[in-house]
Amino acid sequence: MVGTTSFAAFPQPSFPIKTTLRFVLIVALASALPAFAQRDIGNIIKAQIILGKVMELSAKMKEQSVEIVAPEPIPDSSGRFLLPYDNDGNLTEWAEKALGAQVGAAVGAKAGEQAGKALASKVPFGGLAAIGGVEFVKQTSTQSFNNLDDYSVYLHVMYGGTAEHEKALAAAISIYPALEKGCDA
């Protein structure tokens, strides 16, 4: 009968073998180099130690999950930034109109109506006129924010990954162009 040997029976080294071999190699190279090059080896060793710590932290961070809490919106349209969703999570009338206006602009651009498109891109909040103005947006909104960063986080946390999210985001960006920069980040 052939016996088997368990590797667990042998004592495990306190340092991994790869780390020990790497250290021996670096020390051997350092002793063979002139003094001016040894400073560079010292920097390499320091960098390797830092890299090892970063890798350890990275492994720990992968194990942890981060939960982002959505900021609480203002429960009416009194804020500076009006949400494209109503209280029930449906797109608002202004969001639907903004999407229709964007489709119309795309069709117009295909037909050669570049002048109107160019003019609209030069006017800040030009999308508001296409969907009925500020009053229409306020009348058809049920939630808002005073801070664009909170607005962006709320949209991402509450609706990111849903079927309507991309549409709502496109509608919001049409009247709040600065939101696009926050979404890229």
**CA distances in angstroms from 121 to 116, 118, 125, listed in the order given:** 9, 5, 9
Three-state secondary structure of 87-144? CCCCECHHHHHHHHHHHHHHHHHHCCCHHHHHHHHHCCCHHHHHCCHHHHHHHCCCCE
- Say which range, 13-22, 33-42, 130-139, has the weakest mean pLDDT: 13-22
Least-confidence region, from 64-68, 70-74, 134-138: 64-68
Q: What residues have CB less than 8 Å from 127, skipping those under 6 apart?
A: 98, 101, 120, 174, 175
More confident residue, 88 or 25: 88
Give the span between the Cα atoms of 165 and 184, in whole angstroms: 15
pLDDT at 12 over 60: no
Residue 185 scores a pLDDT above 90:
no
Instruction: Work out the average pLDDT over 149-163.
Output: 90
- In this structure, what DSSP letter does residue 72 have? P
**127/64: higher pLDDT:** 64
Chain-centre distance for alpha carbon 128: 27
| Tokens found for residue 88 | 């029930």
Rounded distance, CA 130 to CA 97, Å? 8
Lowest mean pLDDT across 13-27, 43-57, 146-160: 13-27
Supply the pLDDT for residue 120: 47
Interval 156-163 mean pLDDT? 88
Looking at the DSSP assignment, which residues form a beta bridge with residue 144?
74, 82
Of 65-69, 100-104, 134-138, 171-175, where does mean pLDDT reach its minimum? 100-104
Give the C-alpha separation, 4 to 61, whole Å. 39
pTM equals 0.55
Average pLDDT over residues 17-25: 62
pLDDT tens digits, 122-139: 433 445 776 788 899 999
Q: What is the mean pLDDT of residues 49-56?
A: 75
